[in-house]
Amino acid sequence: MAERKGRPFNLKSQPGFTQIAWACVVFLYAPILVLIAFSFNENRSVVRWTEFSFDWYVSAFQNDGIRNAAIVSLKVATSATLIATTFATMAALATTRTAPFRGQGLAFGIINQPLMVPEIVTAVVTLSFFALVKQVTGLTGIGYLILAHTVFCIPFAYMPIRARLEDMNLTLEQAAADLYATPFRVFRRVTLPLMAPGILAGAMLAFVVSLDDVIITLMISGPGETTLPIYIFGQIRRGITPEINAVSTVLLGVSVLLVSSFFLIGRKKA
């Protein structure tokens, strides 16, 4: 009854929930902040703070292993993003703004399949499949890795594009068609510009999930196809150096930047 004396009874509040929410945020961010802080530590130790420095970033940048891994990562993520976003855009155009058609549920199921299978299962299953394909065709190369990344990037690219299309107004396209624009022209001059933010958002998500993938890449990447997360994984198992903190911080920064822009794009309504 004491609470009624001080302030009016708030029917939405529940005791302790505020504290738990704050604890949650601290729990989520404290480890990351510690990691970032120690990447700027001058000392070799990842335990005791001595002095601020950029030394570990410099040494990470000069490390050939890290540089090569970064190049592979960018190559794979860019290729996978381009293919996945194109396919996802086409699929989104086919599945939105239409009456239900035969096989629609099946198409949805297949597109979302990579999200429903545990990642480790996808990883070993893809490994078996690629091993067989390699045996039969004799083809090798980074194409396999790009293909595997493309598959799990498609649903991530598909979601925001589909959301954007569903919010879009049909009347503009109808108006263009009434003014004798050909279907292709309507698509190029009206539909595509309107859905562009969705496509950009989808591409960003695809890029982030490709850049961050560990398990699938770990299983199927061949020699010389070490991506940045795989490099980090190997180093952590061998022992901890502040250099890894520096690389991790950069990778975190890229993800945070992309995802923040994704949210900003999403706030502008169609």
Partner 1 sequence: MSTPDTHAQADAALRAAIRQREREAFRNRWLLLAPGVGLIACVGLLPLALTMIYSFLEPGTYGGVTWTFSTGAYEQFLFERDLFDETLLTFNPSYVIIFARSIFLALVATVGTLLVGYPTAYFIATRPRESRNLWLFLITLPFWTNLLIRTYAMLLIIRDEGLINAVLMGVGVVEQPVGILYTDFAVFLGLIYSFLPFMVLPVYASLEKLDFRLVEAAYDLYATRWRVLRRVIIPATRPGIVAGCILVFIPGLGAYITPELLGGGKKLMIGNMIALQFGTARNWPFGSAAALILMAMVVLMLVFLMRRGGRQVGHG
Considering only residues 52-71, where is the footprint of partner 1 by CB under 8 A? none
Site membership for partner 1, residue 18 (CB under 8 A): yes
Site membership for partner 1, residue 120 (CB under 8 A): yes
Q: Which is nearer to partner 1, 98 or 137 (CB)?
A: 98
What track of x and - describes contact with partner 1 for positions 183 through 212 (by CB under 8 A)? ----------------------x--x--xx
Q: Report whether 142 contacts 72 (CB < 8 A).
A: yes
Site membership for partner 1, residue 23 (CB under 8 A): yes
- The nearest distance, CB 194 to partner 1, in angstroms, is 17
Per CB under 8 A, the list member of 72, 76, 77, 91 interacting with partner 1 is 91
Site membership for partner 1, residue 118 (CB under 8 A): yes
Site membership for partner 1, residue 132 (CB under 8 A): yes
Site membership for partner 1, residue 131 (CB under 8 A): yes
Site membership for partner 1, residue 43 (CB under 8 A): no
Cα–Cα distance between 221 and 76 in angstroms, integer?
A: 11
Stretch that binds partner 1, among 58-66, 69-77, 142-150, 191-199 (CB under 8 A): 142-150
CA dist 52 → 39, 40, 61, 67 (Å) = 9, 5, 18, 24
Per CB under 8 A, the list member of 1, 2, 11, 179 interacting with partner 1 is 11
Site membership for partner 1, residue 129 (CB under 8 A): yes
CA-nearest of 94, 138, 134, 113 to 220 is 134
Per CB under 8 A, the list member of 40, 56, 57, 158 interacting with partner 1 is 158
Q: Which is nearer to partner 1, 49 or 54 (CB)?
A: 49
Name the residue type at position 141: G
CA-nearest of 233, 210, 238, 213 to 75 is 210
Per CB under 8 A, the list member of 69, 70, 145, 154 interacting with partner 1 is 154
Site membership for partner 1, residue 34 (CB under 8 A): yes
Report 219-248 residues binding partner 1 (CB under 8 A): 219, 229, 232-233, 236-237, 240, 244, 248
* Token representation of residue 146: 């790009």
